[in-house]
Copies of this chain bind each other. A is one copy, B any other.
Amino acid sequence: MATTSIKLSALKTACKSCSLHDLCLPLGLDIGDIDRLDNIVKRSRPLHKGEYLFNSGEAFTSIFAVRSGSIKTFTESEQGDEQITGLYLPGELIGLDAIHDAKHPCSAIALETTSLCELPFDTLEDLSSEIPELHHQLFRIMSKEIAGDQSLLMLMAQKSADERLAAFLVNLSSRLKARNFSETEFNLTMSRKDIGNYLGLTIETISRTFSRFQSEGLLSTQRKYVNIHKLNELKELAGISDHCTTTDCPSKTA
């Protein structure tokens, strides 16, 4: 019984004691407001690998925040080809693209065992009218998503396979670092196929590029496990200078 109660309490970790605090919605809120936010959060059982969070076309009712694990979102065109549009890590919000016409334009699947916080959007919207900081944080998060998509666009439009994979790995690395994971050693939760799809390349090209990176000593891989040996070179290849992340890199002026 002890184990059960531990699990339950873990499941119920409140926003204010959540380690993702500063990466997620509560950023900038004071204790009282965090409690109010906490009250509208629904926490349900974790999703297993491969389980759907929602399906394309479904009615939109809630935003989801990743607590642990990871989620991929993807759209399907009429011709049936699939395009992965997002990879979400702990602290990130899913479903923001569904607000405008009240249904999900994409599907979401768990890439591993993943737990989530559900935020009913109506209530969240009401609450954010009352709490200016929450309001602002929501705008910030949506804005960041727009900016992120646009830098991904840049990647797709004019980068080579090498540059795309490097940028993908560097981006992942810095997001993991922000979550107190290692920035040089991690497991890819997406398959080669998914990565290829996400970057607009084929699985063979991803595999070959990984092989070349490995033979060049930039990194080593074992299936999904990646160990980056020369992060700086990888960053350079990705077109990102030393101590800058994708999103907050000031143009070099010095």
- Report A's interface with B, CB cutoff 8 A: 56-57, 75-79, 81, 83, 85-86, 96-101, 105-106, 125-126, 128-130, 132, 135-136, 138-147, 149-154, 156-158, 197-200, 239-241, 247-252
Name the residue of chain B whose CB is nearest to the CB of A199.
B157
In angstroms, Cα B126 to Cα A154, docked, is 33
Contacts of A141 in B (CB 8 A): 100
When the two chains form their complex, are residues A135 and B129 in contact, meaning their CB atoms are under 8 A apart?
yes
Residue from B132, B139, B198 within 8 A of A142 (CB atoms)? B139
Interface centre among A57, A83, A98, A140, by most B CB within 10 Å? A83
* Known A126-B132, A157-B200; 19 more pairs at CB < 8 Å: A81-B158, A85-B153, A85-B154, A86-B150, A96-B143, A97-B150, A99-B140, A99-B143, A100-B139, A101-B144, A105-B150, A106-B150, A125-B135, A125-B139, A129-B129, A129-B132, A142-B143, A153-B153, A157-B197
* Residues in B whose Cβ lies below 8 Å from that of A140: 99-100
Q: How distant is the Cα of A79 from the Cα of B56 in the complex, in angstroms?
A: 38
Contact residues in B for A250 (Cβ distance below 8 Å):
57
Asked, given contacts A57-B251, A132-B129, A241-B78, whether A153 binds B142 with beta carbons under 8 Å apart, the answer is no
Known contacts A79-B239, A136-B125, A146-B142: A153-B152 contact under CB 8 Å = yes
Q: CB-CB < 8 A to A98: which residues of B?
A: 143, 147
Docked pose: A239 CA to B239 CA in angstroms: 33
What are 5 A-B residue pairs whose CB atoms fall within 8 Å in the complex?
A: A57-B250, A78-B249, A99-B140, A129-B129, A156-B200
Contact residues in B for A56 (Cβ distance below 8 Å): 251
Q: Which B-chain residue is minimally distant from A76 (CB atoms)?
A: B251
Give A249's nearest chain B residue, CB to CB.
Answer: B78
Do residues B151 and A75 form an inter-chain contact, with CB atoms below 8 A? yes
User: What CA separation (Å) do A83 and B163 show in the bound complex?
Assistant: 15
B96–A146 CB distance below 8 A: yes
CB neighbours of A151 from chain B (8 A): 75, 105
